[in-house]
Chains A and B, each alone.
Chain A
Amino acid sequence: MMFNVPIPGGSTGHAVGGAIIGIVLGPWAAVIALSVALVLQAVMFGDGGITTIAANCFNMGVVIPFVGYYTYKFISGNTDITSSRRGIASAIAGWLSLSVAAGFAGFEFGIQPILHHDANGLPLYMPYPLSVTVPAMVFEHAFGFSILEALVTALIFAYIQRTDSSLLYGEKSEAQKNKIKNTAPVRG
């Protein structure tokens, strides 16, 4: 992705923004939005790559919005759409969704040398085994990039909450509609 940030150790990584998209659009619409973005990045900018589109779309386009949306929903509970608890819920959703997706990506990396190697045991694609890839991906995200993702998610969430909370997907639920009706000033 485009916003790369360095971490100690000479590697870089990135936020995805999938959790906030899941929270705003709902998880299913987010699958489409994120997949379009990922395919464009691969085709136009060689980022991610043509052969990894399916894996990327699964990890970032499906896992992130679903984990993100349901984490947010679970923590938010029945609070008001403008409550600060939802801001915290969105931050945790951002952190958890990126960390889980990183775990999936690490797993997919790690099974490569088992699935694809030549007759001499030399890897055809990814050379490192599960014992290296899963910890590498999970730790550098959980203690690095996911924290950034949490901040970005909460920041965008608070911005939307303040400017126009009707954009949020959760707003369309019956419970929220009733709440707005009940709290709306009565004109007489």
Chain B
Amino acid sequence: MDEIYRNLAIGLVLLIVLAPLGLLAVGETYGEWGSDEIKEKLGFVPQGLAGLSGIWNAPMPDYAFPGDEGNESMTLSAAAYILSAIIGVVACGGLMYFAGKKVTKD
């Protein structure tokens, strides 16, 4: 049983360390444009989108430290990416663990 966890942990740590590789990519995914990007493309921001854009503010938008997204050094961005990955793993794992416990108990 321990070996299973060790092998899976190796994979997980590897993925966390490699996460900042995503920073090398420039440009936005098709259809994932923000208001700024869509304004550049069309010359205007569609009304419905503009109305929805303030509905939620993520604590770490774009996997960066809040406040200065896009203006950070590469080292800081990489650190933020790794921190995001760790937060994601802990939140995801924790949520599944406790939900699983609750479900099996019921």
Contact = CB atoms under 8 A, between A and B. Distances in A.
A4 B29 contact: yes
Interface string B1-27: 001100100010000001101101111
A26 to B, nearest CB: 15
A183 interface: no
A149 to B, nearest CB: 14
Contact of B30 (A3, A11, A41): A11
Contacts of B49: 124-125
A159 B11 contact: yes
Interface stretch (A73-81, A86-94, A115-123, A174-182): A115-123
B47 A122 contact: yes
Given A46-B56, A49-B56, A124-B48, 20 more contacts: A2-B19, A2-B22, A2-B81, A3-B22, A4-B25, A10-B27, A11-B27, A36-B96, A42-B58, A44-B58, A44-B60, A44-B88, A46-B62, A47-B62, A48-B32, A109-B31, A125-B48, A126-B46, A133-B31, A164-B3
Interface string A101-122: 0000100010000001010001
A68 to B, nearest CB: 18
B92 A40 contact: yes
Contact of B87 (A44, A105, A116): A44
Contacts of A123: 46, 48
Contacts of B91: 40, 44
Contacts of B74: none
13 contacts: A2-B22, A3-B21, A6-B25, A6-B26, A10-B27, A12-B25, A44-B59, A44-B84, A44-B91, A45-B62, A109-B31, A126-B46, A127-B41
